[in-house]
Amino acid sequence: MKAVDTNLLDLLKKSERFVVPIYQRVYSWGKDECAQLWKDIMRAGSRDSLANHFTGSIVYIERDQGSNTAKEPDLLIDGQQRVTTVTLVLAALASHLQQLPPGQQEPVEGFSSQKIRGKYLTNVYEEGDEFFKLTLTDRDKDALQRVIKDLEPLDADSRVTVNFRYFLEQIAALDDAGLKTLCEGLNKLVVVDVKLSRGQDDPQLVFESMNATGKKLTQADLIRNFVLMDLAQGLQAQLYNDYWYPMERVFAKHGERRFDEFVRHYLTMKTRKIPRLDDVYEAYKEFAFGSDSSDPAWKEKLVADLYVFSTYFSNMAFGVERDRQLKQRFDEVEQLATVAYPFQLRLYSDYESQRLSHSDFVQVLDALISYLFRRNICGIPTNSLNKTFNTLVHRVNPEDYVASVLGYLLSLPDYRRFPNDEEFIDKLENEDVYFNKKKNYLLHKLENFDSKEVVPTAQYTVEHIMPQKVTPQWKAELGDNWEEVHRYFLHTLGNLTLTGYNPEYSNRSFAEKREMKGGFKESPLRLNQFLRERTTWSQADIEQRASDLSAKAMKMWGYPSVNQEVIERYSSSDRHTFDWSLTHSILEVLPYGTWTNYQELAEAVGTGPQALAQHLSNHAGCPQAYRVMTWDGHLAEGFRWSDEQDDRDPLVVLHEDGVQMIDGLADADQRLNSAQLLELVEEGE
């Protein structure tokens, strides 16, 4: 590797051709970046005391030897945004100077339209792509070539075209002195010229270590570069066109973050480890180097496998599955929780390879949906789900597929449990469903229960039958204990329905809501059939309707029927022991300046304060245990470090961690309650 400070224009003049590899991101600089570069150039040109202006690094892989008749270009792997933008400035300057009177066409020696094009933009004796000193990826190539040739653009919205016009406008506003300043500024641009030798240097390592000033690369960019960067240009093009570009095109419609999520799920399935979203690239590298890197085709196999699983993911997550039964279930899982995807990828792979039948696939998905939704209704935190599905990926018995999945799920303990019928019905009928994030999903499913004609419910809103504001009419209708009925039943399932007339209903009496135009009596919704048959609305009616709806819910989100022998055979290994992993995860990420007590942490993880205290005192690997204190903020009596040689004062350590001690008690305003503790590790749903 050779790295030297170089005048950028000299580099462009000496280099025959720079080609941006096919896998690199498209040109993306916007007006803000262009305005900053313009400002830097004009500032440098206006200061005689400033000999040069550093503008970042240009990293490229030097050309192959080629042959006497075919010359290979240098592959530009970092700095393409900068080089492209300077090229646009030069092209705009050449275009402007060409329009000036003959005596004004070279404001500074060497900066005429002809010389700019001949030295920095083109190879005048070449043809085709070889004519241009800079060739961008396919989606930007034509736009740049038309700009350099001073032709009308075909795509007026291309970033290349838009930025070229921006620089034309800036240059047109300059007087003679300003043109000289611009030329002088361009002449002062300096870069670190980093040339990598093919076959000797590792382009990816150099690429990662460069402190580039351009746009931050996404995890997807880094993975793509890692897979494709050091390959011959022909193989790069093949793998990009066959595998990467189709993936890129699909995920571009849904946001770059979804690609990162997919790779995270893919790696979780492959490695049994769950990387953080921001660490996906590093985790992918570790996974890749763990495969057979001695195989000449190892990178092709890597990207091909990633592509195959990306098609499974897009079918599940983006609603493009063609099988109607599978699509319906994929859509439901997507609404409930995305953390099941590592397991779903395994399922889909086994389905495609015919290790899992269609009917078994449907049965497993139904159990998965029931597991997720029952837990949601029962208010069980979702932070354990990542571990559950990560483990389940590797607990499947292909010879006994459905039984092994159901047996494992039904054996899970504590906060990872599969809620039984009694718990599910109790919560569904008595909890405040109105505040549940999945209430629309619940009501949609209840509306369409046991019907082949699906009613789209997105245009309807959730209506309180007994209104939130109690009028005198409602007080009379509810009876003497109206306050208790209203307080307890207002937001429960039995008192909620769907309507398109929410504003019209307002606080009207039940009879008015039933009889008015568009009222319950005329409603086509099955959810309102019970209401059409009632003349009043009371506690008994609410309870009866809740019971009827929960009976339907029991059938839709059923508890799997599996005998005890199967459950024992496939039970989780930690069924009879408490899982402390959530405790450790919470303590690892306690923010600066916070603490908690035994009661709050115990409630968060699903155990008792005494059991928690015993675990913290006996488990040497438990992080930040000193930040768990008594209910009122005292340091635990008899606290000691797990390392007997550690003589630090825990109060001093607490102070260093930002915990304020007032008269020997931790500041109550810095205490985190159980809900706040769970938010620290809550996974996206």
More confident residue, 613 or 420: 420
For helices 31-46 and 80-98, the axis angle rounded to 10 degrees is 70
Beta strands 53-61 and 74-78: pairing type?
antiparallel
The four Cα atoms 672, 673, 674, 675 give a dihedral, to 10 degrees, of -90
Q: Please say whether the beta carbons of 470 and 482 come within 8 A.
A: yes
pLDDT-based confidence at residue 329 (cuts at 50, 70, 90):
very high
Highest mean pLDDT: which range of 275-284, 291-300, 401-410: 401-410
Q: What would the mean pLDDT of 321-328 be, rounded to a whole number?
A: 96
Amino acid at 201: D
- pLDDT given at position 121: 94
Q: What would the mean pLDDT of 473-483 be, rounded to a whole number?
A: 93
- Mean pLDDT, the chain, rounded, equals 88
Answer yes or no: is pLDDT of 246 > 50: yes
Of 98-112, 262-276, 371-385, 616-630, the one with minimum mean pLDDT is 616-630
For residue range 500-514, list pLDDT tens digits in order: 888 888 889 999 999
pLDDT-based confidence at residue 203 (cuts at 50, 70, 90):
low
Answer yes or no: is pLDDT of 65 > 70: no
pTM of structure: 0.70
For residue range 623-672, list pLDDT tens digits in order: 888 899 998 888 887 777 777 777 888 888 898 899 998 888 999 999 99
- pLDDT given at position 663: 86
Cβ neighbours, 10 Å, residue 261: 22
- pLDDT given at position 198: 63
Q: Please say whether the beta carbons of 343 and 393 come within 8 A.
A: yes
Answer yes or no: is pLDDT of 303 > 50: yes
3-state secondary structure labels for all residues of 628-683: EECCCCCCCCCCCCCCCCCCCCHHHHHHHCCCCEECCEECHHHECCHHHHHHHHCC
pLDDT-based confidence at residue 68 (cuts at 50, 70, 90):
very low
pLDDT-based confidence at residue 34 (cuts at 50, 70, 90):
very high
Alpha helices (H) along 452-575: 472-478, 482-489, 502-505, 510-515, 529-532, 539-556, 564-569
- In eight-state DSSP terms, residue 595 is B
Residue listed under structure tokens 């054996």: 411
More confident residue, 683 or 312: 312
Q: Is the dihedral of CA 603, 606, 612, 616 positive or negative?
A: negative
Task: Please give the C-alpha separations between residue 658 and each of 435, 584, 588, 627, 654, in angstroms, as whole numbers.
Answer: 35, 20, 15, 11, 6
- pLDDT given at position 296: 61
pLDDT-based confidence at residue 138 (cuts at 50, 70, 90):
confident
For residue range 549-585, list pLDDT tens digits in order: 999 999 999 999 998 988 888 886 554 456 677 788 8
Q: What would the mean pLDDT of 448-469 be, rounded to a whole number?
A: 91
Please tell me the distance from the alpha carbon of residue 613 to that of residue 609, in angstroms, as a whole number. Answer: 6
- Sorted by where each starts, the structural domains of the chain and their CATH numbers stand as 2-215 (no CATH), 233-419 (no CATH), 424-556 (no CATH), 581-681 (1.10.10.10)
Answer yes or no: is pLDDT of 125 > 70: yes
Q: What would the mean pLDDT of 462-489 be, rounded to a whole number?
A: 94
pLDDT-based confidence at residue 498 (cuts at 50, 70, 90):
very high
Residues in the chain: 685
Q: What would the mean pLDDT of 290-298 be, rounded to a whole number?
A: 68
Token representation of residue 668: 């109550």
Answer yes or no: is pLDDT of 610 > 90: no
3-state class of 192 per DSSP? strand
Answer yes or no: is pLDDT of 54 > 90: no
For residue range 336-356, list pLDDT tens digits in order: 998 899 999 999 999 999 999
Strand pairing partners for 61? Answer: 75, 196
Q: What are the b/e assignments for 657-685, b being 16+ CB within 10 Å?
A: bebebeeeebeeebbbebeebbebbeeee
Q: Please say whether the beta carbons of 348 and 310 come within 8 A.
A: no
